[in-house]
Amino acid sequence: MRLNRRPSITRRLTLLFVSASSAVLLALGVVIAASVEKHFEEQDMDALMGKMALAQHTLEQLKSQDDLKRITQLLDNSLVGHQGLEVIVFEPNHEVIFATPNANFPIDLVAASAARNPYRSITWAQGEQNYRGIAAELPTGLLTRTGARSKVIVAVATDIAHHQAFMRSFLQTLWFFVAGAAALTGFLGWAAARRGLAPLRAMREQTQGVTAQQLSYRLPVESAPVELAELAQSLNEMLARLEEAFHRLSDFSSDIAHELRTPVSNLMTQTQVALSRARSADQYCSILESNAEEFEHMARMISDMLLLAKAENSLVVPTRQTVNLAAEVLALFEYYDAVAEEKGLHLALEGDGEVSADRLMLRRALGNLLSNAVRHSAANTTVRVRLSASPNMVSICMENTGDAIPQEYWERVFDRFFRVDPSRQRSSEGTGLGLAITKSIVNAHGGTISVASTGAVTTFTIRLPRVP
């Protein structure tokens, strides 16, 4: 998928600003329109109720049929100056008693409203005219044959065409304003989003300069906005991990090239010498035996490097079982007994303990430490292994007397191919990966390993959890 087809944050923020502002303006317009409409209705109702009260007062003054013409004249005079206001008075049998010249009332609607909802606002349209009115059944001063006061239906209405014209103009103006405000808000939102996302674009430009040769570059966290500071910190931590991994890979590649160069060079030299002239069968056998030793050394080195590569990528998964550490150490003592006897070394074990671990992997780690201790111990000394257990941890201390390790190398002795003495040549006894493999095995079991050297006494300490 092409990146330019994906919606940008700027576009999303702009659309969000436009949508939010339009929704707010529309809601505000609806509220204002409803308020104006209600205001007009209240104004009309005030005028209608006033005329209805006047009509009621006038009708109550009727004493005889002769007063009807006078009261009709009073009603007609009361409407002078009220343009658009219409009045009609009719009896329950729909016989009209009084009506303004332009009165245009739906008699049935008015009569029904007077009976069911007196004084309630009703609206209707007659032709091109729109009216709002009220109707009620009012008593007069005339008496019926039974002695009760007679009643008539009075309806008062006003023309609301001017109100509707105003509302149409208002709504039209509102829509134009909302459209203009949405466009303006979109532009301002786009400008604000562009300005607000400027640090993000700057961060992108800065990260584009990061290459395999410039992994040490870090983003400035202090100058980044609060919202991007955590992102910048995370990117810096990622760059630090990449730099560390890249350096480790470069060192690993250099170490491999350096360590394999010697056996390959030896093999090439011996082979070229053997081919330089004809030799006896015994001589060829001797050369092939020497080459076989070099091949075995290279095979062990490649196997060890493969194990380290798996361990660094968490591909080494121990198969756990209960392991008696004292029994494993004694088995290793038997294996190295002949070598120790040649140097006059004494192998001693103190304590006991059990852990849940992979037996073969743990034996290899302990074997690497014991082989290292035997190789670097002075003659006629003791290689001592101390086991101690606590409720949660088991400690394995392997102590030997001999070559000391300077304190500045205590952390580096577990690096691949590291040698305390840089001038020391590759030994046929090991690949230079033993301590690195030991540390990987201990880490895979959730433990730790450390070294300390005091005087001529060097102690390697492994701490393993009793329960994984």
- One pLDDT digit (tens) per residue for the chain, 468 residues: 444 566 677 788 888 888 888 888 888 888 888 888 888 888 888 888 888 887 777 777 776 666 666 666 666 666 655 566 788 888 788 888 778 777 778 888 888 888 888 888 888 887 777 888 888 888 877 776 666 777 888 888 888 888 888 888 888 888 888 888 888 888 888 888 888 777 777 777 777 777 766 777 777 777 777 777 788 888 888 888 887 777 777 766 776 676 677 678 778 887 888 888 888 888 888 888 888 877 877 777 677 667 666 666 665 667 788 889 999 999 999 888 888 888 899 999 999 888 888 888 888 889 889 988 998 888 889 999 999 988 888 999 999 998 788 888 788 887 766 666 554 444 445 556 778 888 888 888 888 999 998 888 999 999 998 765
* Exposure of 156 in the CB half-sphere (CA atoms within 13 A): 26
Distances from the Cα of 340 to the Cαs of 132, 194, 236, 254, 383, in angstroms?
118, 75, 51, 34, 9
Burial 40-64 (b: 16+ CB within 10 A, else e): beeebbeebeebbebbeebbeebee
Residue 386: predicted pLDDT: 93
Place of tokens 């493999």: 437
Helix (H, G, I), strand (E, B) or coil at 377: strand
CATH architecture label of 226-312: Orthogonal Bundle (1.10)
CATH class of the domain whose range is 321-465: alpha beta
Choose the CATH number for 3-168 among 3.30.160, 3.30.450, 3.30.1490, 3.90.550: 3.30.450
pLDDT at 424: 44
Q: Are 351 and 386 in contact (CB under 8 A)?
A: yes
Distance CA 430, CA 271 (A): 23
Which residue bears the tokens 């409803």? 34
**If you ran DSSP here, which 8-state letter would residue 7 be given?**
P
* Cα distance between residue 340 and residue 336, in whole Å: 6
pTM as predicted: 0.48
pLDDT score for 347 = 92
Place of tokens 């020391």: 424
Report the 10 Å Cβ neighbour count for 259: 20
Angle of helix 9-60 relative to helix 66-78, nearest 10 degrees? Answer: 150
Task: Show me where the domains of the chain are located.
Answer: 3-168, 226-312, 321-465
410-447 pLDDT, tens digit per residue, is: 888 877 666 665 544 444 455 567 788 888 888 888 88
Phi, psi for 383 (deg, rounded to 5): -100, 115
448-454 vs 149-159, strand pairing mode: unpaired
Compute the Cα dihedral for 360, 362, 366, 368 and give only its sign. Answer: positive
Over the Cα atoms of the chain, what is R_g? Answer: 52
Q: Which helix (H) or strand (E) holds 452?
A: strand 448-454
Task: Report the b/e string of 204-222 with b at 16+ CB within 10 A.
Answer: eeeeeebeeeebeebbeee
Indicate if 226-312 has the same CATH topology as 3-168: no
pLDDT per position as a tens digit, 101-159: 777 788 888 888 888 888 888 888 877 778 888 888 888 777 766 667 778 888 888 88
pLDDT at position 288 is 85
Burial of 458 (0-12, 13-18, 19+ CB in 10 A): buried
**DSSP H or E segment with residue 406:** none
CB 439 within 8 A of CB 415: no
Residue 428: per-residue pLDDT: 44
Q: Which helix (H) or strand (E) holds 97?
A: strand 96-99
**pLDDT at res. 406:** 84
Instruction: Using CB atoms within 10 Å of the CB of residue 400, give its burial: 0 to 12 exposed, 13 to 18 middle, 19+ buried.
Output: buried
What is the pLDDT, as a whole number, of residue 348?
Answer: 92
Nearest in space to 434 (alpha carbons), one of 452, 409, 416: 416
The type of residue at 334 is E
The secondary structure of the chain in percent helix, strand, coil, rounded to multiples of 5, reads 55, 20, 25
Give just the sign of the alpha carbon dihedral 254, 256, 257, 263: positive
pLDDT of res. 77: 65
Q: Distance from first CA to last CA of the chain, Å, rounded? A: 46
CB atoms inside a 10 Å sphere around CB 463: 18
Neighbour count for residue 393 (Cβ, 10 Å):
16
- What pLDDT was estimated at residue 66? 64
Q: What is the DSSP letter of 425?
A: P
